[in-house]
Structure 1
Amino acid sequence: MLGMIPLLFPVRVFSIFAHNTNSYFTHGVASGDPTIDAVIIWTRVNAATSGACNVEWQVANDAAFQNIVKKGSVTTSQDSDYTVKVDATGLDSNQVYYYRFIYNETSSDIGVCKTLPVSLSNPVQIAVISCNNYEDGYFTSFRHIADNPEIDYVFHLGDYIYEYGTGQYCNQEFLDESNRLNDPMHELISLEDYRKRYALYRKDKELQKAHRTKAFICIWDDHELANNAYFGGAKNHQSNEGSWSDRSAAAVQAYFEWMPVRAKSTSEMIRSIKIGKDANFFFLEERLDGRDKQLLSNDPAKFSSQRKMISKKQFDHLSERLKTSDARWNFLVNQVMFTGYKSKKEEKAKEEDWWTGYPYQRDQLIEVFENLKNPPIILTGDHHQSHVLELNSTDASDSKKLIAWEFLTPSITSKNDDRLTTEQIAKKSKLLYKLNPHMLYNDIAAHGYFILNVNKKEVKISYKFNEDILLRNGKEKQGADFKIDNSNNLKKNV
């Protein structure tokens, strides 16, 4: 029977508004992958034992836990790095819930989450984020997200951790001043390495607060594995680092242990969310599902019809779902840039990690877009910069036909052009507009995220930037705003 369920033992409890400082739950709590009737809740127990631990969990309608609607217990051990993950089911749609864990008569932080609505009778607001590198700056934008009561959910588009050793990929001046060092200090190779890096990130108070207050829906990109990862290897994986299959398996295991995702395999990371006939969100996997090795941008072999970014199975599934979608708004939640742009008049050859490096399959997907009733909206991470791009038809007779929009979210901290002078930034930004008529907006040096606001008849995108990632208490400033109306007209600063 649901309702008020009394505790059978005294529990030391903590406020939802204050961070829990007890020694058992030092990595906080998190929720993720909400549906209309379920949500994943997560924690880790810092237990002084090498054996198994029994952990209680509770979900309630109120922060005081006077009305507990779900509860249970779960066993964890060193086999899962003492992480705890529960799929709390049987919940109501579009409902705020409070959750906590109890170990040794001590409560964790109280987390807050929200199940999905069955329709967009009211708009949903989603923070779209990616690329938080520990040694590049403070994670203040996570606190800005946590403190915004209008944000319902968070989409994390990957590069949640970085695999590099200390000083290999960082802002060296910041590193010297802050002593904010990676753990372990060497490059991640083994399961223990990846676990330690997640443990480090999840002790960050700003990141903890975001996880404690918002449900995350996550996809991975390459740095959860190694830079420029693909199915059979990675640019940042060398032969003296062991087998790629062992390393990638270790990385994936640690990800599933530490992240609040329902998936238990790479194929299950390919998923979708449907909110009635209003919105469809398709979450892609572009690293381990079938991606071929990246080639140089001037290599004619990249045009081969055999090369793929995603497996044929994933492509066929996405294509069919887009073609048969009855939703007004269709979103691709995507790791790497799809549309592409020119950055200078004569580009040097470089390893092409974007969709543009897989032109045959990209063109196939563009053909799908061209035949849809309404242009889809691509939400993209990885790039570290803010860009809004129009994707127009490849048909020469109809070259001005809009077939998709792409919104690139900036990094939380990872390097972009923030180390250029103000004059250099302005000059480069101006050149980008000149070279790319389809580029509606760029900010190449700001860090932060954007808020996606979706309702039945319009979509709004609002960029939010951190004034200074090198300051612990950097404030938030407003970036550009965009609106797409029901007639597929896009307006800026509305």
Structure 2
Amino acid sequence: MSIRITRRGALFGASGLAFAAAACSSGPRRPEPEPQTGPFRHGVASGEPDQSSVVLWTAITDDAGGEYVFQVAADESFETIVFEDREERTYVTSNAISTFKVIATGLEPATTYFYRMLFNGISSPVGRTRTLPVGAVARFNMAVCSCSNYPAGYFNAYRELANTPDLDLVLHLGDYLYEYSADGYASEEAERLDRVVDPRHELISYGDYARRHALYKTDPDLQAAHAAAPWLMMWDDHEVANDAWTTGAENHNEGEGVYEERVYNAMLAYHDWNPTREPEDQIGTARIAEIGDLATLVVTESRHVARDQPMDFSTFPIADDADPDDPANRQAIADWRANEIGRDDREMLGAAQIAQIADAFGAAAGKPWRLLGGQVIMGRVETPDMIEALPGWLKFIVSKSDDLAWGYIQRSQFDIPFNLDAWDGYVAERERLYDAVREAGSDMIAFAGDSHNFWTNQLMDDDGHRIGYEFGTTSITSPSPFERVPAPGVSFSRLIEDKNPDVIRHNDRDKGFIRVTLTPEAMEADFVTVSTIRRRGYTAGSDSRWRVTRGSDGLEIDAI
């Protein structure tokens, strides 16, 4: 039996919006694949597995039509086919690109399968997928990633992810693509790297978002990562627009049309171009994956369901260069944090999602692990005093060259939150989430993306009780905010670690992903790094490795 989710035909046609695969040259680490030609130029993907089914995805570039067949087999040679879905399609436009998606059902739990599409006798690349387990699980391997900006550099981290053996699941926590124009964010090297985005303008319409997804899917490293394992995906803000919330976004204005229409366009394209199960409203709420008796994974939606507008420093109550030793200024900051940032009605997830998390974690209280996949950093992070820590020459250069960075440096004297778009801008709801987890008789391991930095944090509530630990993944290519300030000899990471007792490890330099291994006895997280994103050849390394176990007083963490 098969369940068809969507068939978007003739997405691009006679208007000339055809796509070729991204150019690629051999690197010393791994032989690079040739660019895809023929009808399957965008690779294959699988996603959102459960114990008996998985979503399969591909796209076809063709103007003649014909018969296609999705096949799933128990072996890579396709001698034992366990699922087949067959249909015919007639195209009405030239050079059309159509996406295809089907749920392959009737599969066995904890089983590796191989899949492909045949179109008029031509085979797509072969992908590997795997169903979720039931019952006892000795080991489960995941990769956690986020923030892939096409013009910023090559997706070497995706290539290294694809090289990970025995991968059961890829957890992608958002910013799969970026909405900016060709001269926008992180595009300084795009021309030299031959990674200029298409379309060249900012994304607004359905066609805009679909074209950008299509461009990303021509990248050979991303194709390899999708073909290596099933993905469980959740968007962050840039799949629509920067710093998005339920009714708007920082990177949206009235001249760009009705915001709700932009969200609809972006979400429709997201589902068309990814191996997702589609909720009726294209957004839905949290996704839950049951990993046998080993773990329950809840992945939250944090942008379009409940989020209030992120705060920024436009409401900062005193001048950036005010005297930090003046008691009146200190009181103004304290009042601002309590009455603005700390407002009880500010939401990111909403009550319904928090209840969903509590129910899922309560039901999983007997399992070794309860995992929460979010988008933004949950741990408490205060900004270190940059005025005190930075050398005078650097402060002088920044004050004369970068107003935004200089304002941040000046405000850092006042013990302010590091990122108001993260959970530090939604502190009351964070406490409600912690309360719900604790009342469910649970603890948790949280994963986050968004920040373009690696993090290891302990999650502490306002009363000093540990709720769990957090591992934040760096980006695939998107630049760290600290790259804005060239500061030889200055370790921003060390400043953050020294300032914040809840931050165990911070890395503001490297690109990569987190490799996670779950067993009944321990959870291990390896911060995998790549040496460069400016050329195809790279070497892989490890920033740090962490092991979480359960001791007499709850979860314990050690560097390994």
Q: What TM-score, normalized to structure 1?
A: 0.90
Partner amino acid for 1:320? D
Q: Aligned pairs, how many? A: 471
- Determine whether 1:83 maps to 2:123: no
- Determine whether 1:303 maps to 2:342: yes
Out of 342, 351, 361, the position equivalent to 1:312 is 351
The Cα offsets for residues 122-173 of structure 1, whole Å up to 9 and x where unpaired, read as 211101000000011100111111112132221000000000001211151x
Evaluate the alpha carbon distance shift between residue 83 and residue 490 of structure 1 in structure 2; reply closer, same or farther with a 3 A threshold.
same
Out of 508, 514, 517, the position equivalent to 1:453 is 517
Out of 143, 146, 156, the position equivalent to 1:130 is 146
CA shift for structure 1 position 372? 5.0
Evaluate the alpha carbon distance shift between residue 130 and residue 201 of structure 1 in structure 2; reply closer, same or farther with a 3 A threshold.
same
8 Å CA contact 1:20, 1:108 repeated in 2? no
Evaluate the alpha carbon distance shift between residue 409 and residue 192 of structure 1 in structure 2; reply closer, same or farther with a 3 A threshold.
same
8 Å CA contact 2:147, 2:450 repeated in 1? yes
Partner amino acid for 1:30? A
The SS at the match of 2:175 is coil
- Structure 2 distance, partners of 1:287, 1:140, is 28
Counterpart in the other structure of 1:116: 132
8 Å CA contact 1:266, 1:289 repeated in 2? no
The SS at the match of 1:42 is strand
- Structure 2 distance, partners of 1:266, 1:283, is 16
Partner amino acid for 2:514? F
Counterpart in the other structure of 2:259: 244
CA shift for structure 1 position 320? 2.8
Partner amino acid for 1:92? E
Partner amino acid for 1:304? R
Structure 1 unaligned blocks of 5 or more = 2-16
Partner amino acid for 1:423? P
Out of 230, 239, 260, the position equivalent to 1:224 is 239
- Structure 1 distance, partners of 2:138, 2:34, is 31
Partner amino acid for 2:430? R
CA shift for structure 1 position 323? 3.2
Counterpart in the other structure of 2:184: 168
8 Å CA contact 1:302, 1:357 repeated in 2? yes
Counterpart in the other structure of 1:9: none
Counterpart in the other structure of 2:508: 444
The SS at the match of 2:514 is strand
Counterpart in the other structure of 1:147: 163
Out of 220, 229, 234, the position equivalent to 1:214 is 229
The Cα offsets for residues 231-260 of structure 1, whole Å up to 9 and x where unpaired, read as 101000011000101111000000010011
- Determine whether 1:44 maps to 2:59: yes
Q: Find the structure with the greater CA-based Rg.
A: 2
RMSD: 2.4
Counterpart in the other structure of 2:305: 289
Partner amino acid for 2:559? N
Out of 464, 488, 491, the position equivalent to 1:423 is 488
CA shift for structure 1 position 176? 3.8
Counterpart in the other structure of 1:332: 372
Out of 98, 102, 115, the position equivalent to 1:99 is 115
The SS at the match of 2:195 is coil
Structure 2 unaligned blocks of 5 or more = 2-31, 317-335, 386-410
Evaluate the alpha carbon distance shift between residue 477 and residue 226 of structure 1 in structure 2; reply closer, same or farther with a 3 A threshold.
same
The SS at the match of 1:289 is coil
Counterpart in the other structure of 1:362: 430
User: 1:267-278, aligned counterparts within 5 Å?
Assistant: 267-268=283-284, 270-278=286-294
CA shift for structure 1 position 391? 1.6
Counterpart in the other structure of 1:198: 213
Counterpart in the other structure of 2:559: 493
User: 1:377-416, aligned counterparts within 5 Å?
Assistant: 377-395=445-463, 399=464, 401-416=465-480
Most deviating of 207-216 and 480-489: 480-489
Among all aligned residue pairs of Structure 1 and Structure 2, give the percentage whose two residues are the same amino acid.
30
CA shift for structure 1 position 363? 1.4
Out of 79, 84, 88, the position equivalent to 1:66 is 79
Most deviating of 326-335 and 70-79: 70-79
CA shift for structure 1 position 385? 0.1
8 Å CA contact 1:130, 1:381 repeated in 2? yes
Counterpart in the other structure of 1:14: none
Evaluate the alpha carbon distance shift between residue 316 and residue 477 of structure 1 in structure 2; reply closer, same or farther with a 3 A threshold.
same
Partner amino acid for 2:547? K
The SS at the match of 1:482 is strand
Which portions of structure 1, spanning 4 or more consecutive aligned residues, are displaced by more than 4 angstroms?
Answer: 17-20, 74-81, 348-351, 418-422
CA shift for structure 1 position 82? 1.1
Evaluate the alpha carbon distance shift between residue 362 and residue 21 of structure 1 in structure 2; reply closer, same or farther with a 3 A threshold.
closer
Most deviating of 446-455 and 111-120: 111-120
CA shift for structure 1 position 353? 1.1
Most deviating of 101-110 and 416-425: 416-425
- Structure 1 distance, partners of 2:452, 2:490, is 14
- Structure 1 distance, partners of 2:477, 2:555, is 32
Counterpart in the other structure of 2:197: 182
Evaluate the alpha carbon distance shift between residue 109 and residue 390 of structure 1 in structure 2; reply closer, same or farther with a 3 A threshold.
same
The SS at the match of 2:488 is helix
Evaluate the alpha carbon distance shift between residue 246 and residue 21 of structure 1 in structure 2; reply closer, same or farther with a 3 A threshold.
same
